[in-house]
Structure 1
């Protein structure tokens, strides 16, 4: 009953609930980033990366957590439109919570709507500058748009944080000065 009242209250015209600040997990995330950078292999790094998601998906309050979890369940079931509606509601309710933007961007990425995903990824990164998921999503969206130079810069940026990401295969080695002379 409490959940129904919260949802009805949230969607009533003229009524807005105040979303509290997202929990600050920066110390824990910094430690995990340090661990992933020192990981001896991709499997070990993946364990640390999975732990990061626990912190990114820790919503500011119970209402936000319910919306986030529901949207993620819908996305996992490929109800992308339903998931996007939930993430729209989450962003409206918690405009300072990076994961709302990141998840909405992921839904648009899955829909191959990279142009729509990019502003959400930029907002997620602005709110959480070391959010490896959002940084990676930005790089992959740029790849999808064929914006190769920007994509390479974005890939290099995220791989500095996690050098074991599967996306590392997309990073092209820099051209050597000898190669540039031969191309001219």
Structure 2
């Protein structure tokens, strides 16, 4: 049975009013970060602090430990995908993005990240597909529209 509050948030992502879309986006991120309660949230927050401080190895270890303890915690996989992307480890980022999407098919952030990783690997057609999938969920995300145009130009 589908969660009616989730369905409402997904509908709000398509609203013509920016405030409605922004609120829905924030609520989805909160839901994803809080999926595993205080323990999971605290782990993600510690990893973010480490990443911000440039302590990437420590952040990666923390996220990997969190993933080992909570393998269905999509946001832990997503944060590690971001870390890998920031380090230029695009294939590893792509693998983590795919895991997030397996766990949470509506994760527009992971779809966007998948597109970024594919584009960085020169796989522009596949990147366009990922950005389009993100746009199906979040149609007003101008960044994905722009990235589709950039990838299309690279194919010419």
TM bucket normalised to smaller: 0.7 to 0.9
Residue in 2 aligned with 1:35?
12
Which of residues 162, 167, 173 is equivalent to 2:144? 167
Q: How far apart are residue 26 of structure 1 and its match?
A: 4.8
SS at match of 2:119: helix
> Which structure would you say has the larger Rg?
1
Q: Deviations over 1:46-71 (max 9, x none)?
A: 33212211001004244333222211
Cα–Cα, structure 1 residues 112 and 33, in superposed 2: closer, same or farther, change >3 Å?
same
1:66 aligns to 2:42 (yes or no): yes
Cα–Cα, structure 1 residues 28 and 82, in superposed 2: closer, same or farther, change >3 Å?
farther
Unaligned runs of 5+ in 1: 1-24, 176-182
Cα–Cα, structure 1 residues 137 and 27, in superposed 2: closer, same or farther, change >3 Å?
farther
**Is the contact made by 2:74 and 2:100 (CA closer than 8 Å) also made in structure 1?**
yes
1:102 aligns to 2:86 (yes or no): no
Q: Please report the TM-score for the alignment, with normalisation by the length of structure 2.
A: 0.85
The count of residues paired between Structure 1 and Structure 2 equals: 150
Residue in 2 aligned with 1:138?
114
Q: Please report the TM-score for the alignment, with normalisation by the length of structure 1.
A: 0.73
Unaligned runs of 5+ in 2: none
**Is the contact made by 1:36 and 1:49 (CA closer than 8 Å) also made in structure 2?**
yes
Q: Distance in 2 between matches of 1:46 and 1:143?
A: 26
More helix by share: 2
